């Protein structure tokens, strides 16, 4: 089954859930209010919408509901990459890779890191 693509604000919340694990609204707010300045009920509403969409699930055993990501980080990453390849690079993953390399060309350090990353991967290293 295909899950809906998270919006920007939803993605910010998912990052918190991925990093911190199951969290109440207040826990999510704690991480996001400094950077986004967003209010409590905004997070709450978003989590409720995400629940409807199936992006998160919640534990209602306590009055203080606890939300956890139902969409795995890797699945989300793959989905976003696939969508990008489709909409921007005409379905060619090769062209995306080329663009990344082309993009990093200006920075010797960055290019070197990518080269190292690929080498590690070829040796069978996982992340």
Partner DNA sequence: GTTGACTTACGAAGAACTTCGTAGTAAACT
Partner DNA sequence: AGTTTACTACGAAGTTCTTCGTAAGTCAAC
3-state helix, strand, coil in the chain (%, to 5): 65, 5, 30
Binding site for DNA (CB under 7 A): 4-5, 7-10, 24-26, 36-42, 44-46, 48-49, 63-65
Q: Are 63 and 24 in contact (CB under 8 A)?
A: no
- Give the nearer residue to DNA in terms of CB position, either 5 or 95: 5
CB of 37: closest distance to a copy of itself in angstroms?
Answer: 17
Single residue of 90, 108, 109, 123 touching a copy of itself by CB under 8 A = 90
Q: Is 57 in the site for a copy of itself (CB under 8 A)?
A: no
- Give the nearer residue to a copy of itself in terms of CB position, either 41 or 99: 99
Residue 23, both tokens: 């969290």
Extended strands (E) in the chain = 56-59, 66-69
CB of 15: closest distance to DNA in angstroms?
Answer: 13
* Torsion sign (Cα): 66, 127, 103, 89: negative
CB of 114: closest distance to a copy of itself in angstroms?
Answer: 6
């Amino acid at each position: 089954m295909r899950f809906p693509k998270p919006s920007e604000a939803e993605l910010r919340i998912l990052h918190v859930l991925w990093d911190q694990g199951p969290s109440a609204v207040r826990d999510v707010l704690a991480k996001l209010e400094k950077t986004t300045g967003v209010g409590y009920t905004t997070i709450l509403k978003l989590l409720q919408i995400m629940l409807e969409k199936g992006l998160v699930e919640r534990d209602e055993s306590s009055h203080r509901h606890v939300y956890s990501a139902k969409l795995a980080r890797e699945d989300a990453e793959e989905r976003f990459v696939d969508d990008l390849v489709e909409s921007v690079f005409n379905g060619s993953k090769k062209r995306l890779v080329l663009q990344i390399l082309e993009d990093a060309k200006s920075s010797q350090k960055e290019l070197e890191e990518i080269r190292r990353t690929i080498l590690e991967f070829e040796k069978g290293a996982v992340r």
